[in-house]
Amino acid sequence: MGFPRHRRNAMKAELETIRGESGDGSLSPSRLVQWAREHPNSHLYKAFEWDDVKAGHAYRLWQARQIIQEYTVEVVNQPAQKRPARIPFVSVPNLRNGEKKRQGSYLPRSVVEKRPDYRQDVLENQVRLLKAMRKNFGWLTELNKVWAAIDKLELPSKNEAA
């Protein structure tokens, strides 16, 4: 969810209010939704979809993504090293956002592995996620070797990948 800076700051202040009201400084999703519902003029209220039909559909889409991500094919009577990897479907960002826009954004990993443009897109997305993880959790000094490896990542150019 990308919100403008002024709205993010207002939402942060509202989150701090909720934390202050909690008694132990914590935030929970259920408390956040409850507080937003009780404060219809708040920025947090405006961040939620309150139309149950739309929200229900959005939730089912989220559930569908979870099902796709968990879907695995178990191949019996094969040695472990020959079995398919645990992630048979891969989310390809350019299928969601780019010129190839279409409803489905998940492809079999075997297809993505063979298409340099899809592979590059997935790789770039994963590197972005790793760097975001480093930014958010860099304070965990026990992971300094992991953070150093992330910092050293160099992606091949789009031309090299094709």
Average the pLDDT over 116-127 and give the result. Answer: 87
Express each pLDDT in 53-85 by its tens digit: 999 988 888 777 777 666 544 445 555 555 555
Express each pLDDT in 7-31 by its tens digit: 888 988 998 898 888 777 777 788 8
Cβ contacts of residue 88 below 8 Å, gap of 6+?
A: 71, 72, 73, 108, 109
**pLDDT, position 160:** 57
Average the pLDDT over 96-123 and give the result. Answer: 71
Between 130 and 25, where is the model more confident? 130
Same domain, 95 and 19: no
Same domain, 27 and 107: no
**pLDDT, position 31:** 84
Q: What is the DSSP letter of 82?
A: G
Number of domains within the chain: 2
Global pTM value: 0.55
Same domain, 129 and 101: yes
Q: Are 125 and 93 in contact (CB under 8 A)?
A: yes
Domain, as residue range, for 25: 5-47
Phi and psi at 155, nearest 5°, equal -90, 145
